[in-house]
Every structure is written in structure tokens, then in C-alpha cells.
Amino acid sequence: MEREYYPAAHEAIADQVPQTPRKKKKNKMKTKRRFSDEQIRLLESIFESETKLEPRKKLQLARDLGLQPRQIAIWFQNRRARGKSKQIEQDYRTLKANYDSLASRFESLMKEKQSLILQVQKLSELLEEPHDINKVSKPGPDGNRTDGGSEYGDTKCEREAEAQPSFQQAGVEDMGFFGLQIEKDKDIEHAGQPLEEFPSMNDSLASPEKLYGFDSADMFDHSCSNSVWFNFWT
DNA sequence: TGGCCGCACCGCCTTACGTCA
DNA sequence: GTTGACGTAAGGCGGTGCGGC
């Protein structure tokens, strides 16, 4: 469909675009005409080099395009607003991509962490065995206990509470032995916090828990204040 | 020198028209 | 021909900077 273009300023439409309309309110615009492609092209080319116009240049441009200076000023204002809006959208996309990438890496690291914790628990059991072998209930054929519990207690807390001294007994104070740094005592209480504070971009973006369907509360059981956790973030 | 006023300009939000599917 | 979504020119408002008094 053909556009209706804004005529030159000296034509009738110019009368509807007062030079200083700021004080004239409630005077509804009668007609609105889009600028011609040529006008837009020139405006865009100038906007590329300077997003704000000097007054003299604005007057010159208004003459060249047959528009009112105020129309030029408004076009630049609206153009800056459009540019800003697009920039915000671009920034949002970039941030979201970074967030998604980070969340993905977070998830994979959590899996790796869980795997390493299991390895440590198994090693802990191995270190424990020679000292206390008589207390250990008889394992089933597959190596698991037949009563459904473990030699370290039936709860996660008990297992962890007992697992920690075993390292000390074995002279393994520093978990750097496993390439890890163990969290102890008060530091342990903070070990789970970064997980809960994993940044969500905003309410519209799901947190990792929602995004990936896992619950941080399950991973960091705060019912055990002395739980052994590794500092995920170091 | 500090305060006031008018003006121009800006950013931001809103309105209303033009265009298109 | 109608309608709803979208783009955009322009209105309106509050804020700021500047020059004159």
C-alpha cells in the first residue's frame, strides 16, 4: 500500500505542527503523516554519526527535508528511545544466554560434585573398615547391607557425622588429597548458601531449581548443621 | 553573589494515527 | 470491509541547564 508522505513544511500540514506547541495542549493532532523513505534515510544516516543534533544542524536539516525543526527534534528523541529499547532487548538476550550457559554449567558441576561426594563416602568406608570391622553388619551378596541401613547410621546426618572423623583418624585432614577442599564446622553452615542464592535473572526466568527440576533443599540438607560439604565455589 | 524567571531541550510515558496481516 | 497488533509521530509532564534580570 502506498504511504502518505509528509508534504513540505510550507504546505498545509505545517499549519498543524506549530513551532512551539508545548504550551498548546488539548489540541488534538488532526493528521499524522509518516516521513518519506528519503527523509528517513537522511535522518538515519545523520543519526548514525550523532545521536544528538546541534541546534544549527537541526535547522539546516529541517530546511533540507522540508520539515519543522521540532519535527526533527522529536524524530531524534523517538529514534534515541527506539535505539535504547533495542539495546535493552539486546542486553537482555545476551544476559539470558549467559545465564542459561551458567545454569547449564552449574547443573553439570552439581552432578560432578554429587559423584565426587559418593566417591569420598566410599573411600571413607574403605578407610573405616580395618578399625571397626566387627561393628559392621554383614553385607549382602551385592556388598550392601541387608537391613536397609548403613554401618554409619540410618540417617544421612549420622552417616556424615561419622564419616568426618574417619578422615581425621586416617590422617587425611586435608581433602586436597582428593583434589578437594573440605568444609568444616562453621564454614560448613555456609557451604550450601551459594546454591540457594544462585542468581535468577528475574521472576520471569526460572531459577535453576525450576528450570531443571531439582530442589536445592534436597542437595543441601540443612537439618545437619555439621554436614560435610565441599566448597562448591572454590 | 544568590535567587527568580523564561526558555530550550531532554527522557520518559502516553496518545492516536497509519499500516498491515 | 473489519479488526487487532504493531510502528511511530507527536502530546504531555517533570527535570535540568543556561542566560538575563
CATH of the domain at A100: 1.10.10.60
Mean of pLDDT over chain A = 61
Structural domain contains residue A71: yes
Residue A108 belongs to a domain: yes
Q: What pTM was computed for the model?
A: 0.56
Percent of residues, chain A, with pLDDT higher than 70: 41
CA of A81, C1' of B4: distance in angstroms: 33
Q: Nearest-CA neighbor of A91 among A213, A191, A201?
A: A201
Q: What is the predicted pLDDT for the residue at A124? A: 92
> Per-residue confidence at A180, pLDDT binned at 50, 70, 90?
very low
Q: Is A115 a member of any domain? A: yes
At A14-31, the pLDDT tens digits run: 333 333 333 333 334 446
Inside any domain, residue A93? yes
Residue A187 placed within a domain: no
| The three grid cell numbers given for residue A171, joined into one nine-digit string | 590422617
For residue A42, is it within any domain?
yes
Per residue in A107-165, pLDDT tens? 999 999 999 999 999 999 998 876 554 444 444 444 444 343 343 334 443 444 444 43
Distance A65 CA to C1 C1' (A): 36
Q: Nearest nucleotide to A75 by CA–C1' distance?
A: C9
Full domain range(s) for residue A59 = 37-127
CA proximity to A150, closest of A122, A173, A171, A131:
A122
Total tally of structural domains belonging to chain A: 1
Q: Is the pLDDT score of A222 beyond 80?
A: no
Distance A50 CA to B1 C1' (A): 38
